Structure 1
């Protein structure tokens, strides 16, 4: 994987330093700069700083995250924007993606999911954290009274091991926890998850879980 250059916008210094420490410890991740707000992001980019991914909070002084996402989409469309915030209401999620964000994470997200999100978005994907995605699924089920319809497993060609991994993913286990539980390597678990995403034509892991729920593949 090529190096991912990251710019971080977060107005709480302790939080910002913690995120920076985590990201800098990852192979192929480099935090090029970290700033307090959206205005500082734009001023820094005007100097010619080259970054691949911007991670920004929504609640910031001077220029909030939603306005920054909109400005980035207009001025720097090649830079992928990921929102990292405490706000988990549907309005903020939808508005962020509408303004051009490629990822949305809440601040209690695990390190593994954050790293996965950055890699996925950097490669051109979009990502909504599993916590919010599952809330959306539940709201959709309650609103539309969806009844899971079983699919023809022979058409999906899912192995028993893939179904085991799918079930554990739906229970909120991380790749590392699944690898320990099934006595597999973490890389093997990641491979099974990617196969599941490809076979079900899902966009990401939350979409995979939604597909599995609606089609009766998980308990």
Structure 2
């Protein structure tokens, strides 16, 4: 059985997490606290395997608490719970010693998986954050030209679709009909294409796409 200590300054969230874990025989909620200091005050008399720890709390927040726990209870596993998705915040949390990071809007299955993974000695990053970070990395790579190549721009899948149809000579309305969207949306994407590529009109846009192999043969 995994002994979990829940720390969050919102009682409704603590109640929800307690109810979620109570329904699973794998877990036992051994304590609750409204901030990091309350947790530290209780830990000497409470045996826990994993601390499910809110990041933003009064008195002693999740980041400061994580640093204290890693120094004073090195065997205790720490899973941070937050709504913050900025990579700097996540990086600071992991650098402080957290073993996992999960969003508060994650579904119950992911929270359970996160607790199990962290308790078993693994590190965990929730899927929404992981996919978001991967998307940023791929976008950055797309924007960085390979040595010896002409710098290009990163286009979304929809922009590439519209660029292909623009090159065939279709009007905005015809493109909208084909893609089951509105003419206004197509116009917006078309303007984005002009701004991203730095060209002034449609013929120049098509020329740009042909020169960089952006059009399907």
Report how far residue 144 of structure 1 moved. 1.6
Which position in structure 2 is the counterpart of 1:136?
A: 133
Structure 2 unpaired stretches of 5+: 144-217
Q: How far apart in 2 are the matches of 1:12 and 1:123? A: 27
Which of 9, 15, 19 is the aligned partner of 1:11? 9
Match of residue 41 from structure 1: 39
Aligned residues: 144
Distance (whole Å) between structure 2 residues aligned to residue 52 and residue 42 of structure 1:
14
Corresponding position: 1:90 with 2:87:
yes
Superposed counterparts of 1:25-40, under 5 Å: 25-40=23-38
State the distance in 2 between where 1:44 and 1:77 align: 16
Query: Using the alignment, how far apart are the partners of 2:8 and 2:15 within structure 1?
Result: 9
Structure with the larger RCO, 1 or 2 (CA within 8 Å, 6+ apart): 1
Q: How does 1:185-196 map to 2 (within 5 A)?
A: none
Which residue number corresponds to residue 67 of structure 1? 64
Give how far 1:145 is off. Answer: 2.1
Runs of 4 or more above 4 Å deviation: none
Q: For structure 1, list consecutive stretches of 5 or more residues without a partner in the other structure.
A: 147-219
Q: What whole-Å deviation, never above 9, does each CA across 1:27-79 have from its counterpart, x for those lacking one?
A: 22000011100000100012x21100000111101001000011111110111
Once residues 15 and 89 of structure 1 are traced to their aligned partners in structure 2, the CA distance between those partners, rounded to angstroms, is 22
Distance 2:47 2:40 in 1: 12
1:189 matched residue in structure 2: none
1:79-112, CA deviations, whole angstroms, 9 ceiling, x for partnerless residues? 1000011111111110111011011001100000
CA distance in 1, matches of 2:55, 2:121: 22
State the distance in 2 between where 1:91 and 1:31 align: 31
Instruction: Report the Cα distance in structure 1 between the residues aligned to 2:43 and 2:113, rounded to whole angstroms.
Output: 25
